[in-house]
């Protein structure tokens, strides 16, 4: 079988800031878009799509197209790395027909593209009050319902404070389950998160439940209620929230933590050519 011929060089591109954000109903602040674009550039992406200059009445998510473009090009962090700005397409259609699609059961490309910017928005918003926050992730396929947050654990009562801040962010308010892990756990790796729950979490001591919280209707398990004002935009369902503390506790040593491999292991691997 012939060997595959890989190119000697590839150019990384990303369209999250434009395509990933354009279907979101709520306007994403320019600061959040700018932060993500800067981080993508600093991560090594050479081509990124950041906005759309279409009619903001039709695409309100891009009403800040001019401001975002100007701020990115003059950014102190990445402005010197931007070599040129390219217009990729100019389209025009009379009497357009806007189609709607059913995404189906998550996870799908549409769900994931929608979750990534919401994670960024929540992280930027929560980080202002939580300097110890190191990552925020929406579990794939949960529709903004199950969240993971990683923190640098420093003081008693920190778990409840982190949860309260995330629950009160614009998007985190939709959550039902929040799993909090230490900063040595990758919140974007489900295997890492499950390992932390399996080895650091005790339901009796590390579970915090908030009952009878007003719901949004996106969770089919929410219970109907007869709350006043439902017909004028108030809630008509109730949910509850649970915080799972999967961090290493201050008062209980954890057994079975990963350790560095002994020197003999590296010596054997070297001898076997591994």
Q: Where are the alpha helices (DSSP H) in the chain?
A: 30-42, 65-73, 109-127, 158-167, 190-200, 203-206, 263-271
What is the residue whose two structure tokens read 């499950």? 194
The pLDDT, as a whole number, for residue 135 is 94
Question: Going by DSSP bridges, is the β-strand pair 133-138/146-151 parallel, antiparallel, or unpaired?
Answer: antiparallel
The pLDDT, as a whole number, for residue 62 is 87
Which segments in the chain show pLDDT lower than 70? 1-3, 90-93, 96-104, 109-110, 226-236, 253-262
The pLDDT, as a whole number, for residue 233 is 53
Tokens encoding 98? 């806007």
The pLDDT, as a whole number, for residue 207 is 96
The pLDDT, as a whole number, for residue 230 is 47
**42-64: b (≥16 Cβ within 10 Å) or e:** eeeeeebbbbbeeeeeeeebbeb
The pLDDT, as a whole number, for residue 100 is 54
Q: Say how far apart CA 138 and CA 140 lie, in whole Å.
A: 6
User: CB neighbours (10 Å) of residue 194?
Assistant: 12
CATH superfamily of 108-251: UbiD C-terminal domain-like (3.40.1670.10)
E-assigned strand segments in the chain: 13-14, 47-48, 133-138, 146-151, 177-182, 207-214, 223-224, 237-246
User: CB neighbours (10 Å) of residue 35?
Assistant: 18
Domain ranges, ordered by start, for the chain: 11-88, 108-251
The pLDDT, as a whole number, for residue 116 is 82
The pLDDT, as a whole number, for residue 123 is 93
Q: What are the residues facing 149 on neighbouring strands?
A: 136, 180
Model confidence pLDDT, tens digit, residues 100-140: 555 667 777 667 777 888 888 999 999 999 999 999 999 98
């Amino acid at each position: 079988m012939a060997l595959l011929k890989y190119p000697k060089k590839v150019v990384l591109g990303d369209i999250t800031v434009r395509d990933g954000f354009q279907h979101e109903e709520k306007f994403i602040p320019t600061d959040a878009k700018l932060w993500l674009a800067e981080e993508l550039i600093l991560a090594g992406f050479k081509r990124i799509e950041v906005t759309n200059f279409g009619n903001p009445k039709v695409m309100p998510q891009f009403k800040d197209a001019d401001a975002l473009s100007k701020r990115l090009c003059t950014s102190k962090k990445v402005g010197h790395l931007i070599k040129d700005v390219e217009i990729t397409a100019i389209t025009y259609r009379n009497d357009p027909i806007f189609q709607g699609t059913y995404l189906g059961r998550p996870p799908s490309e549409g769900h994931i593209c929608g979750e990534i910017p919401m994670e960024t928005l929540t992280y930027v918003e929560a980080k202002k009050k939580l300097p110890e926050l190191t990552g925020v992730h929406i579990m794939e396929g949960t529709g903004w319902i199950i969240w993971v947050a990683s923190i640098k654990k420093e003081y008693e009562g920190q778990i409840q404070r982190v949860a309260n801040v995330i629950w009160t962010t614009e998007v985190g308010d939709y959550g039902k389950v929040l799993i909090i892990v230490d900063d040595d756990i990758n919140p974007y790796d489900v295997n890492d998160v499950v390992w932390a729950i399996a080895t650091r979490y005790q339901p009796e001591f590390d579970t915090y439940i908030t009952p009878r919280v007003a719901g949004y209707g996106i969770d089919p398990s929410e219970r109907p209620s007869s709350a006043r004002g439902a017909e004028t935009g108030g809630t008509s369902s109730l949910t509850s929230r649970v915080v799972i503390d999967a961090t290493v506790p201050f008062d209980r040593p954890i057994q079975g933590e990963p350790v560095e491999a002994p020197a003999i292991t590296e010596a054997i691997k070297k001898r076997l050519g591994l």
